[in-house]
């Protein structure tokens, strides 16, 4: 079957490299699974606080979770093909939601009035539902392609399309911020940090995988899968987006008890400051 031959090109890969790839897979799974779950939990509290952007980030983390859950499986035959398709599905969904995150941040700066009146969680959920359909369409396109080389080239081209969009959103946001005087400096740093993290993640961890697929599709063989090794680390980067989504110190871990503790500490600091101020006033009298 053509599906079973989708990735059966590992005969030329050195055994040492296979060991390295296995270690990386299990290491990223061990670290990434609890980290992603904790990040999704934290993002949920941001949505409850009426933040719209985390909707796309949560979907991005779910796509990462789909990828990372495939790491422990080392199967053969048809089952290997199914695992690979699920992994492809997660990769495609991750990149698509990265574009959504970047687009949302760009709109906040470039079209603030439109975003202010259109920011509704319903639109975010509808857009997310549409994005989840894209990987299914890509997998169907791969299934209709007859040869392995064409499958790899087609998948690589699909993954390459978001690259100019991510660059455009970052450049456009920087230009809009250069003439904007209403956006606070802290908010500017969060928006630029989000876009830079998304573009950096794509460029460093996904672009080598895309180049690997293109080379494999053109040459018809695959030796050392360096791009695949880089991509294994991408689910560990996306949880950092939470740092740029939160708006206060109380959101650092997003646990109710922690938030209450931070609130008590802030109240205590305010009380102490007021007490010190009163003491100074009394002393001056």
Q: What is the pLDDT of residues 106-147, one digit of tens each?
A: 988 888 887 777 777 788 889 999 999 999 998 888 888 878
Query: Is 213 within 8 Å of 222 (Cβ atoms)?
Result: no
- Residue 138 CA to residue 217 CA, distance in Å, equals 17
pLDDT surpasses 50 at 17: yes
Handedness of CA 206, 201, 245, 258 (dihedral sign): positive
pLDDT surpasses 60 at 260: no
- Residue 222 CA to residue 53 CA, distance in Å, equals 39
**How open is the CA angle 73-75-78, to the nearest 5 degrees?**
125
Question: pLDDT tens digit string along 77-97?
Answer: 567 778 888 889 999 999 999
Mean pLDDT of 196-217: 92
Q: Which residues contact 149 (CB under 8 A, 6 or more apart)?
A: 216, 217, 218, 220
- Please give the pLDDT value at position 157: 92
Question: pLDDT tens digit string along 144-186?
Answer: 887 888 888 898 999 999 999 999 999 999 998 888 777 788 8
Count of beta carbons in the 10 Å neighbourhood of residue 55: 22
């Amino acid at each position: 079957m053509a599906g079973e031959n989708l990735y059966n090109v590992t005969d030329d890969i050195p055994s040492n490299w296979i060991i390295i790839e296995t270690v990386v897979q299990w290491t990223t799974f061990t670290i990434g699974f609890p980290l992603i779950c904790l990040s999704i939990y934290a993002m949920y509290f941001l949505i409850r606080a009426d933040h719209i952007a985390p909707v796309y980030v949560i979907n991005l983390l779910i796509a990462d979770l789909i990828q990372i859950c495939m790491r422990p499986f080392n199967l053969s035959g048809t089952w290997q093909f199914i695992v690979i398709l699920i992994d492809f599905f997660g990769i495609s969904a991750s990149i698509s939601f990265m574009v959504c995150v970047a687009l949302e941040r760009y709109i906040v700066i470039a079209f603030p009035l439109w975003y202010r009146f259109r920011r509704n969680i319903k639109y975010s959920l509808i857009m997310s539902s549409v994005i989840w359909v894209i990987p299914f369409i890509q997998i169907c396109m791969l299934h209709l392609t007859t040869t392995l080389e064409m499958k790899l080239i087609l998948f690589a081209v699909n993954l390459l399309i978001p690259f100019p969009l991510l660059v455009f959103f970052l450049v456009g946001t920087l230009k809009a911020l250069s003439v904007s005087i209403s956006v606070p400096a802290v908010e500017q740093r969060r928006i630029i940090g989000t876009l830079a993290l998304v573009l950096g993640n794509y460029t460093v961890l996904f672009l080598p995988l895309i180049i690997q697929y293109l080379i494999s599709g053109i040459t018809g063989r695959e030796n050392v899968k360096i791009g695949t090794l880089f991509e294994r680390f991408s689910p560990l980067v996306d949880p950092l987006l939470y740092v740029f989504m939160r708006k206060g110190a109380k959101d650092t871990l997003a646990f109710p008890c922690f938030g209450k503790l931070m609130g008590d500490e802030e109240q205590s600091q305010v009380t102490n400051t007021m007490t010190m101020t009163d003491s100074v006033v009394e002393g001056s009298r």
